[in-house]
Amino acid sequence: MSMVGKQAPDFTLEGYYNGNFETFKLSDYKGKWVYLLFYPLDFTFVCPTEVLAFSKMADEFRKEGCEVFGISIDSKFVHKAWVDTKAEDGGLGGSLNYPLLGDITKSTASDYGVLLEDAGVALRGLFLISPDGTVMQETTNHLSVGRSAKEAMRLLKAFKYVTEHEGEVCPADWDEGQETMQATPEGMHDYLSHHIK
């Protein structure tokens, strides 16, 4: 069942970030945009490509007022080992620009509807949460295909835009700087008459 439009379930999880073990509570980030990046397991195959892609863009997300959290069923100790292991040995190469949280009870993955119960791991769920705690967007992939950090950024900017510009909506493939449309029949007609041939 979709989480979009609902309040994001709160959680308190231990994690690893910037050389330290810390406790992270989602409700502490009210007032900011948040991306939750669920992934199956550390030391696997597609997972490091996604985790590192979001790490490369973590500062860009922060400039947009958005924090990113990676979440898997691994413990904070496994997260530390994964971050600290060289890339050529299957690790993340010594640093990561956002926290990795340990959902060892699997309750957070279950709360967000991404727990693959037979396998005991999370699907590739990505949730964008607004500053008031509403889930604005979700993407869930099966295990074999990774997600796009660039598309996540596009969606963040689109949802930020419509939140800040009441009455406007973003058409398909909208990107920052492009024309939006008014959410009225007249606005749709005007947009389509100029953009659809």
* Number of domains comprising the chain: 1
Q: What is the DSSP letter of 28?
A: G
Q: Residue 162 and residue 172: Cα distance in Å, rounded? A: 14
Closest residue by Cα to residue 42 from 67, 75, 86: 75
Measured CA to CA in angstroms, residue 45 lies from 78, 132, 177 at distances of: 16, 35, 36
* Domain harbouring 137, CATH code: 3.40.30.10
**What residues make up the domain containing 25?**
12-147
Q: Is residue 127 part of a domain?
A: yes
Tell me what pLDDT residue 195 has: 81
Q: Is residue 101 part of a domain?
A: yes
Q: Is residue 190 part of a domain?
A: no
Segment 154-186, tens digit of pLDDT: 999 999 999 999 999 999 999 999 888 999 988
Q: CB 141: neighbour CB atoms within 10 A?
A: 16
**pLDDT tens series, the chain, 197 aa:** 899 999 999 999 999 999 999 999 999 999 999 999 999 999 999 999 999 999 999 999 999 999 999 999 999 999 999 999 998 888 999 889 999 999 999 999 999 999 999 999 999 999 999 999 999 999 999 999 999 999 999 999 999 999 999 999 999 999 999 888 999 988 888 888 888 76
Q: Is residue 107 part of a domain?
A: yes
Q: Residue 168 and residue 5: Cα distance in Å, rounded? A: 18
Q: Is residue 183 part of a domain?
A: no
End-to-end CA distance of the chain: 37
Q: Is residue 7 part of a domain?
A: no
Annotated catalytic residues are 47
pTM for the full model?
A: 0.94
Tell me what pLDDT residue 190 has: 87
Q: Is residue 156 part of a domain?
A: no
| Contact indicator for 141, 165 with CB cutoff of 8 Å | no
Segment 49-72, tens digit of pLDDT: 999 999 999 999 999 999 999 999
| Contact indicator for 41, 139 with CB cutoff of 8 Å | no
Q: Is residue 1 part of a domain?
A: no
